């Protein structure tokens, strides 16, 4: 669950990809792809993907781009949108893995995405530096008791890792229970769109191919 929060300004990875997408999706996808041969040899395996309900704010703009980032023609970089896009990418990747496992009849492996809830961590402190509105917003939310404790924030991840596979829902998890994005969310429509899901898979695989060699 290494990740970046809402970047206050646009940055790119060493490979040239928008930072939120690079860290929150591409790096994890590469790790999973490299681990798959070991998972396939296990008696039981699972891939737990820490997504976020922030994915509900994503659109399909990043999917149609070769580098999985929104067009640079936008006058102002929107860190929240970039974070939302990367979290929707987490969910799309989870669906892609499960389709792949089903196609190969690998019933001993499953992937599940979850929303851990908001909690104060290095991810929270890193999304806005002193002087940026995100920093002050997080300080205020923390003072109001909005953030979960670290233990509560980790609970759903722990449940996904340790619960019997039969107890895990086909949909996502939140607060250790089955959960989905709101039906009216644009992201929900994207998750249900075969064409966009296949295009996302194609983009991700093309990017990762270079680093799988």
* Separation between Cα atoms, residue 147 and residue 190, nearest integer Å: 29
Q: Report CA-CA distances (Å) from 73 to 13, 22, 42, 77, 142.
A: 19, 20, 46, 10, 35
Helix or strand (DSSP H, E) at 124: helix 122-125
Tell me, yes or no, if 77 is annotated catalytic: no
* Separation between Cα atoms, residue 62 and residue 26, nearest integer Å: 13
Q: Which of 83, 119, 136, 211 is catalytic?
A: 83
Secondary structure (DSSP) of 79-110: HHHHHHHHHHHHHHHHHHHHHHHHHTT-TTEE
Active site positions, annotated = 83
């Amino acid at each position: 669950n290494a990740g970046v929060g809402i970047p206050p300004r646009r940055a790119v990875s060493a490979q040239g990809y928008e930072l939120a997408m690079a860290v929150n999706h591409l790096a994890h996808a590469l790790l999973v792809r490299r681990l798959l041969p070991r998972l396939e040899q296990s008696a039981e395996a699972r891939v737990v993907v820490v997504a976020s309900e922030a994915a509900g704010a994503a659109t399909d703009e990043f999917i149609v781009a070769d580098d999985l980032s929104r067009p640079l023609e936008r006058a102002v970089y929107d860190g929240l949108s970039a974070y939302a896009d990367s979290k929707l990418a987490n969910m799309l990747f989870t669906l892609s893995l499960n389709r792949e496992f089903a196609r190969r009849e690998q019933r001993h492996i499953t992937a599940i995405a979850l929303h851990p809830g908001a909690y104060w961590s290095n991810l929270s402190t890193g999304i806005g530096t002193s002087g940026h509105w995100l920093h002050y917003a997080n300080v205020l939310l923390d003072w109001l008791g909005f953030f979960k404790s670290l233990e509560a924030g980790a609970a759903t991840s722990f449940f996904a890792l340790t619960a019997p596979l039969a107890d895990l829902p086909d949909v996502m998890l939140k607060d250790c229970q089955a959960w989905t994005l709101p039906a009216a969310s644009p992201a929900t429509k994207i998750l249900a769109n075969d064409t966009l899901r296949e295009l996302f898979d194609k983009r991700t695989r093309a990017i990762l191919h270079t680093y799988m060699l």
